């Protein structure tokens, strides 16, 4: 009788050839391209700086995994596509991830306890305190003793944005938006949101181009603009401390057209451009333009737009009159009036330019939020407390910042210079590689059939030619 080998896997044959497989290829990682993220970290110190925003109250004599190693393991894991904490119970076996984290013993053979040998990295239970440690924990706490400093983490996000520019720009746009992150249990701050039609929290995001400056987890029982004045105030103050002459313009949809935010902008020399919810009075104001747009549509059979530029003031909510631009649009479905309000003068941008080129450009921010949620798992909110879910959002945000730095420094003038995080991961980071650790070297053997080898070499050369931030590891 034929002897069966339990370790051998048999697949559908190829003609007369049998196809068999075994799990005996040695230490092979599916994340060989993650070494590019290591090059980004070596020049920016993003993960090292994030780790500095935590206070470690653990006994130094009992520590095998430093805070920097734990943070690195979690952020690299998210960037490489591992969404959940329990993924690390298997990832701790990956010597390449151990190399990225900075483990001196990437094979894990020198671990203190016999049961941990061969597992260089931390398990999910060791990573758990990063998210679940209370703000008031100290050395006397029993288990969870790694305390995050959220204010310092917020400042670091803005610092990473500032450091990404070699020189101060003349003007920057700050885009604000709120999105939903669904909740599926009895988490703290759980509320039903009527617009999104489910239980969720309502994070606030602030971007400048592709750079993330704020990611704030909020409860869903509040206005979309709640807390935006405080967030914008601290961000603008930090930016102006480094770039005192830069012009700053806020942009957002009608959810941010609020008197307190507009008044703050006017009092602090910041321009704004916000959507303005339509109503009967505003629609009547552009009535003639709507008639003209309808006439043009019937003449051409194509969507037509006519713009009106006027000054307006609400009856009770606005403290002053402001410039409003109305878009009178007619489509095959009928009229589609839209409005924006701004502090930008007419000589800076006419009505059409203001709406079509300046306001509509805010749509790119929604792509950045999708990257965060779909590619970097910013909508994972399965821990119980709002504080712990905020920590998860921070970790996801810095995984995005790391990939954004890779895109900015490594992918310029390549076919992936505008690629989203998921595409960068699948084409550049998910590479099969055999890892061999010797006394003097760590040998990485990439797949010979990898189709983007030339691109990979170009990206590595770009990163190695990029300037290194002072103090980076």
pLDDT digits (tens, 9 = 90+) for 51-97: 999 999 999 999 999 999 999 999 999 999 999 999 999 999 999 99
Average pLDDT, integer, range 166-184: 94
Percent residues over pLDDT 90 in the chain: 83
Can you tell me the distance from the alpha carbon of 184 to that of 157, in angstroms, rounded to the nearest whole number? 29
327: its two tokens = 């878009």
DSSP letters of 345-373?
Answer: -TTT--HHIIIIIIIGGGHHHHHHHHIII
Average pLDDT, integer, range 113-136: 92
Residues 427, 428, 430, 431, CA torsion sign? positive
Q: Burial of 472 by CB count in 10 Å (0-12 exposed, 13-18 middle, 19+ buried)?
A: middle
Orientation of helix 150-163 relative to helix 386-410, angle to 10°: 10
| In a domain? residue 84 | yes
- Check residue 473 and give its pLDDT: 67
Which residue stretches of 286-420 are H helix?
Answer: 287-300, 351-352, 363-370, 386-410
| In a domain? residue 21 | no
Can you tell me the distance from the alpha carbon of 269 to that of 66, in angstroms, rounded to the nearest whole number? 44
Q: pLDDT by residue (tens digit) across 257-306? A: 999 999 999 999 999 999 999 999 999 999 999 999 999 999 999 999 99
Q: Are residues 251 and 282 in the same domain?
A: yes
176: its two tokens = 């604000």
460: its two tokens = 């590595």
Confidence tier at 6 by pLDDT (50, 70, 90): low
Can you tell me the distance from the alpha carbon of 259 to that of 175, in angstroms, rounded to the nearest whole number? 17
Fill in the DSSP letter of residue 429. I
Q: Are residues 39 and 186 in the same domain?
A: no
Alpha-carbon separation of residue 255 from 176, 192, 222, 408 (angstroms)? 10, 18, 11, 31
DSSP letters of 27-72?
Answer: SEES-TTHHHHHHHHHHH-HHHHHHTTEEE-S-GGG-SS-HHHHHH
Residue 416 pLDDT exceeds 60:
yes
Q: Are residues 35 and 177 in the same domain?
A: no
Domain boundary among 350, 375, 400: 375
Q: Are residues 428 and 455 in the same domain?
A: yes
Max avg pLDDT among 47-56, 128-137, 313-322: 47-56
Average pLDDT, integer, range 428-445: 94
Fill in the DSSP letter of residue 468. P
Task: Specify whether the CB–CB gap between 250 and 232 falls below 8 A.
Answer: yes
- Check residue 26 and give its pLDDT: 86
Q: Are residues 294 and 435 in the same domain?
A: no
- Check residue 472 and give its pLDDT: 67
Q: Are residues 367 and 417 in the same domain?
A: no
| In a domain? residue 308 | yes
Q: Are residues 36 and 136 in the same domain?
A: yes
Q: Are residues 320 and 213 in the same domain?
A: yes
- Check residue 176 and give its pLDDT: 98
Q: Are residues 203 and 238 in the same domain?
A: yes
| In a domain? residue 13 | no
Domain boundary among 328, 343, 375: 375
Range of the domain at 437: 28-150+383-465
Nearest to 56 by CA among 157, 106, 156, 126: 126
Residue 328 pLDDT exceeds 60:
yes
Domain boundary among 349, 375, 401: 375
Residue 406 pLDDT exceeds 80:
yes
- Check residue 90 and give its pLDDT: 94
Rg, Å, the chain Cα set: 26
Q: Which position has the token pair 């650790």?
A: 437
- Check residue 404 and give its pLDDT: 96
| In a domain? residue 235 | yes
Residue 186 pLDDT exceeds 90:
no
Q: Are residues 72 and 142 in the same domain?
A: yes
Confidence tier at 2 by pLDDT (50, 70, 90): very low
Residues 240, 242, 247, 248, CA torsion sign? negative
What number of other Cβ atoms are within 10 A of residue 380's Cβ? 18
Q: Are residues 60 and 169 in the same domain?
A: no
Task: Specify whether the CB–CB gap between 28 and 443 falls below 8 A.
Answer: no
Phi first, then psi, for residue 80 (nearest 5°) are -90, 0
- Check residue 1 and give its pLDDT: 42
Q: Burial of 194 by CB count in 10 Å (0-12 exposed, 13-18 middle, 19+ buried)?
A: exposed
Q: Are residues 178 and 266 in the same domain?
A: yes
What's the total number of domains in the chain?
A: 2
How many alpha carbons lie under 13 Å from residue 195 in its C-beta half-sphere? 12
Task: Specify whether the CB–CB gap between 273 and 340 falls below 8 A.
Answer: yes
| In a domain? residue 141 | yes
| In a domain? residue 189 | yes
Residue 125 pLDDT exceeds 90:
yes
402: its two tokens = 């790391």
* Partners of residue 304 on adjacent β-strands: 330
Can you tell me the distance from the alpha carbon of 223 to that of 101, in angstroms, rounded to the nearest whole number? 40
Q: pLDDT by residue (tens digit) across 242-266? A: 999 999 999 999 999 999 999 999 9
Residue 210 pLDDT exceeds 80:
yes
Can you tell me the distance from the alpha carbon of 404 to that of 445, in angstroms, rounded to the nearest whole number? 27
Mean pLDDT for the chain?
Answer: 93
Average pLDDT, integer, range 352-369: 95
How many alpha carbons lie under 13 Å from residue 3 in its C-beta half-sphere? 2
Average pLDDT, integer, range 204-227: 95
Task: Specify whether the CB–CB gap between 346 and 309 falls below 8 A.
Answer: yes
Whole-prediction pTM: 0.93
Collapsing DSSP to helix, strand or coil, 146 comes out as strand
């Amino acid at each position: 009788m034929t002897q069966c080998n339990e370790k051998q896997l048999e697949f559908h044959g190829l003609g007369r050839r049998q196809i068999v497989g075994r799990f005996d290829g040695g230490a092979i990682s599916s994340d060989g391209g993650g070494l590019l993220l290591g090059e980004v970290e070596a020049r920016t110190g993003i993960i090292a700086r994030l780790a500095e925003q935590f206070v470690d109250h653990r006994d130094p004599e009992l520590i095998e995994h430093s805070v920097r190693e734990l943070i690195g393991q979690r952020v690299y894991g998210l960037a490489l596509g591992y969404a959940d904490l329990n993924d690390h119970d298997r990832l701790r076996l990956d010597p390449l991830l151990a190399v990225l984290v900075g483990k001196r013993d990437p094979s894990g053979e020198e671990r203190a306890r016999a049961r941990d040998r061969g597992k260089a990295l931390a398990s999910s239970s060791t990573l758990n305190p990063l998210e679940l440690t209370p703000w008031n924990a100290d050395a006397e706490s029993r288990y969870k003793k790694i305390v995050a400093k959220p204010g310092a983490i917020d400042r670091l996000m803005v610092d990473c944005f500032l450091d990404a520019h070699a020189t101060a720009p003349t003007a920057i746009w700050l885009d604000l938006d709120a999105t939903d992150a669904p909740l599926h249990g009895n988490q703290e701050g759980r509320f039903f949101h009527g617009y999104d039609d489910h239980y969720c929290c309502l994070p606030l995001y602030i971007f400048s181009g592709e750079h993330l400056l704020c990611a704030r987890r909020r409860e869903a029982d509040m206005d979309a603009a709640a807390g935006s004045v405080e967030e914008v105030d601290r961000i603008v103050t930090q930016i102006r401390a480094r770039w005192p002459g830069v012009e700053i313009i806020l942009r957002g949809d009608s959810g941010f057209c609020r008197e307190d935010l507009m008044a703050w902008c006017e009092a602090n020399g910041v321009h704004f451009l916000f959507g303005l919810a339509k109503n009967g009075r505003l629609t009547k104001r552009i009535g003639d333009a709507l008639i003209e747009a309808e006439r043009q549509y019937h003449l051409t059979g194509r969507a037509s737009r006519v713009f009106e530029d006027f000054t307006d003031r609400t009856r009770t909510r606005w403290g002053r009159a402001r410039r409003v631009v109305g878009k009178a649009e007619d489509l095959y479905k009928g009229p589609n009036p839209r409005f924006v309000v701004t502090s930008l003068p007419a000589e800076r941008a006419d009505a059409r330019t203001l709406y079509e080129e300046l306001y509509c450009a805010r749509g790119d921010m929604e792509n950045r939020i999708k990257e965060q949620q779909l590619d970097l798992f910013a909508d994972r909110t399965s821990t119980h407390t709002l504080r712990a879910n905020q920590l998860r959002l921070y970790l996801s945000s810095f995984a995005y910042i790391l990939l954004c730095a890779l895109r900015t420094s490594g992918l310029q003038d390549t076919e992936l210079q505008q690629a989203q995080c998921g595409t960068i991961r699948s084409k550049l980071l998910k590479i099969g590689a055999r890892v061999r650790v010797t006394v003097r070297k760590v040998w990485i053997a990439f797949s010979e059939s990898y189709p983007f080898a030339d691109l990979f070499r170009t990206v590595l050369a770009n990163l190695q030619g990029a300037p290194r931030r002072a103090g980076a590891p």
